[in-house]
DNA sequence: AATGAGACCAACCGCTGGTTG
DNA sequence: CCAACCAGCGGTTGGTCTCAT
């Protein structure tokens, strides 16, 4: 009955991923697309469980991920959406396509939660109703069921207002991180994303990782590692290539031993605005290898990223990663559309009840006024 | 310079709903 | 129908880094 186990529990590697592992994973997904995580460890030889591979891909290697500083706009979006959705980080992340749920969650826990708490203290609203943390259960238990239900109703109303505000934030022009909600993206073909800055490709992520790795790894234990060390003399010109797929049909990914990783990577990072990387992104945002463009290409398996910052409607979540893209479309478009409809249809009806309900809701956690006055 | 505390974040753990055989 | 599995999610952990003392 059932299926065979997903992966061997013994011999599964844990801990931080190495650049080699990243390359193997990326190249495999490049060829086969995301999904079938169960097959990845066996087909690639990675000593990682499928779960770990999926997490590594979705949180770090996936193209279109922006890492680093959150903008004020993103902060606002997260705060509003957290007020609306609670700690449903995946749902929140669906409205910030460049950010992963893990990233948002970490940012919330390390920055925003503190920020909000400090703000509440400053405003003298620290009434032990820690709604933002979802720890208001104790206080809720002290109130009657009727009161709780009315408060919940008010909370929903407040959250809807918050989403309205969050949506309206997107109209600010020239904001580099002014990501329209998914439903708006197609309406703004002119809002071209600079792929190398806003959408960091997975190859770029790996290259950055490699650079850090080279800096922080004085000891080179393997031949490939020593090869990588030599790359530091390349004046930041890393190059990706020669990830050979010996048997594409079986999905086995081999890193060519003789060439090591110095030929594996070719990453021209001398100019951030003109990055030539390992994986090509076509006009549709497709993330592909030359092999995908031309099956007769002798350089099978060599990826090449050609950043095309001026391409219209660049959507790296599209393209070869259609499975994931499809999922994103479903999670991004449908909920927002429904929410918007909900908001619009209900706004007028709710307005009449607002005054009395808000009066009840004052005893709750953070209100709309608190969230909007934060900045 | 040493060190301890706090911040940060990548990755793991455990749970859940849906799917498969 | 049911047990096993898969994929995804949110909570938590632990290693590393930064900064103050």
List the domain boundaries for chain A. 12-63, 68-118
The mean pLDDT of A332-349, rounded to a whole number, is 42
b/e burial code for range A343-370 (CB count within 10 A of at least 16 → b) = eeeeeeebeeeeeebbeebeebbbbbeb
How many Å does it take to go from CA A122 to C1' B11? 35
A51 touches strand C (CB under 7 A): yes
Segment A55-109, tens digit of pLDDT: 888 888 887 788 777 888 888 888 888 888 888 888 888 888 788 888 888 888 8
How many Å does it take to go from CA A126 to C1' C12? 26
Residue with CA nearest C1' of nucleotide B21: A2
Task: Identify the CATH number of the domain defined by range A12-63.
Answer: 1.10.10.60
- Does A228 have pLDDT greater than 80? no
Nucleotide nearest to A51 (CA to C1'): C7
Q: What pLDDT is recorded for position A249? A: 38
Is the model more confident about A161 or about A50? A50
Please, which positions of strand C sit below 7 A from a protein CB? 2-12, 17
Percent residues over pLDDT 70 in chain A? 28
- Does A273 have pLDDT greater than 60? no
Is the model more confident about A96 or about A288? A96
How many Å does it take to go from CA A372 to C1' C3? 50
Please, which positions of strand B sit below 7 A from a protein CB? 7-14, 20-21
A218 touches strand C (CB under 7 A): no
Q: Are A106 and A100 in contact (CB under 8 A)?
A: no
Count CA atoms closer than 13 A to A273's CA, side-chain side.
Answer: 1
A135 touches strand C (CB under 7 A): no
Q: Which CATH architecture has domain A68-118?
A: Orthogonal Bundle (1.10)
Residue A323 — pLDDT band, cuts 50, 70, 90?
A: very low
The mean pLDDT of A215-232, rounded to a whole number, is 39
How many Å does it take to go from CA A317 to C1' B5? 41
Q: Are A183 and A337 in contact (CB under 8 A)?
A: yes
A42 touches strand C (CB under 7 A): no
Q: Is A68-118 the same fold as A12-63?
A: yes
CA distance A113 to A374: 12
- Does A147 have pLDDT greater than 60? no
How many Å does it take to go from CA A359 to C1' B10? 44
Mean pLDDT of chain A, nearest integer: 53
Nucleotide nearest to A38 (CA to C1'): C6
CA distance A34 to A62: 9
Is the model more confident about A12 or about A224? A12
- The shares of helix, strand and coil residues in chain A, as percent rounded to the nearest 5, are 50, 5, 45
A331 touches strand C (CB under 7 A): yes
A88 touches strand C (CB under 7 A): yes
A50 touches strand C (CB under 7 A): yes
Q: Alpha helices, DSSP H only, in chain A?
A: 19-32, 39-44, 50-56, 72-85, 89-94, 101-107, 113-122, 137-141, 145-168, 182-185, 202-216, 223-231, 290-293, 322-361, 368-372
At A281, is the secondary structure helix, strand, or coil?
strand
The mean pLDDT of A137-143, rounded to a whole number, is 37
Residue A164 — pLDDT band, cuts 50, 70, 90?
A: low
Q: What pLDDT is recorded for position A61? A: 85
Is the model more confident about A39 or about A367? A39
A87 touches strand C (CB under 7 A): yes
Q: What pLDDT is recorded for position A335? A: 41
Nucleotide nearest to A105 (CA to C1'): C10
How many Å does it take to go from CA A35 to C1' B19? 15
Residue A177 — pLDDT band, cuts 50, 70, 90?
A: very low
Using a 7 Å CB cut-off, which residues contact strand B?
A: A 1-3, 13-17, 48, 51-52, 55-56, 59-60, 67-68, 102-103, 105-107, 109-111, 114
Structure tokens of A144?
Answer: 């009657």
Is the model more confident about A217 or about A290? A217
Which pTM value belongs to this model? 0.56
Nucleotide nearest to A106 (CA to C1'): B9
How many Å does it take to go from CA A300 to C1' C12? 42
């Amino acid at each position: 009955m059932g299926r065979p186990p997903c992966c061997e529990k013994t011999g599964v590697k844990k801990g931080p991923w190495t650049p080699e592992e990243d390359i193997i994973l990326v190249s495999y997904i490049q060829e086969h697309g995301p999904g079938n995580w169960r097959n990845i460890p066996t087909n690639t030889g990675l000593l990682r469980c499928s779960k770990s591979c999926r997490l590594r891909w979705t949180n770090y290697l996936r193209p279109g991920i922006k890492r680093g500083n959150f903008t004020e706009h993103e902060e606002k979006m997260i705060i509003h959406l957290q007020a609306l959705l609670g700690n449903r980080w995946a749902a929140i992340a669906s409205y910030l396509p460049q950010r992963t749920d893990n990233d948002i969650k970490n940012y919330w826990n390390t920055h925003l939660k503190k920020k909000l708490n400090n703000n509440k203290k400053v405003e003298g609203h620290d009434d032990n109703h820690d709604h933002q943390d979802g720890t208001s259960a104790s206080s809720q238990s002290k109130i009657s069921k009727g009161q709780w239900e009315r408060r919940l109703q008010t909370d929903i109303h407040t959250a809807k207002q918050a989403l309205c505000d969050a949506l309206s934030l997107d109209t600010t022009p020239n904001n580099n991180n002014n990501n329209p909600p998914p439903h708006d993206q197609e309406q703004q073909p002119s809002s071209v994303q600079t792929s190398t800055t806003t959408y960091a490709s997975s190859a770029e992520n790996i290259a950055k990782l490699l650079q850090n790795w080279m800096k922080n790894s004085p000891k080179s234990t393997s031949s490939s590692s020593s090869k990588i060390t030599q790359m530091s003399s390349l004046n930041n010109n890393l190059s990706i290539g020669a990830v050979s797929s010996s048997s594409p049909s079986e999905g086995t990914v081999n890193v060519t031993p003789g060439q090591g990783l110095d030929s594996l990577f070719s990453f021209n990072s001398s100019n951030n605005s003109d990055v030539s990387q390992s994986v090509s992104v076509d006009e549709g945002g497709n993330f592909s290898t030359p092999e995908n463009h031309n099956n007769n290409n002798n350089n099978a398996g060599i990826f090449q990223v050609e950043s095309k910052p001026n391409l219209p409607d660049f959507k790296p979540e599209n393209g070869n990663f259609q499975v994931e893209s499809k999922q994103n479309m479903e999670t991004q478009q449908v909920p927002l559309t429904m929410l918007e409809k909900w908001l619009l249809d209900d706004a007028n009806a709710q307005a009449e009840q607002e005054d009395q309900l808000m009066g009840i809701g004052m005893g709750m956690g953070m209100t709309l006024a608190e969230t909007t006055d934060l900045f």
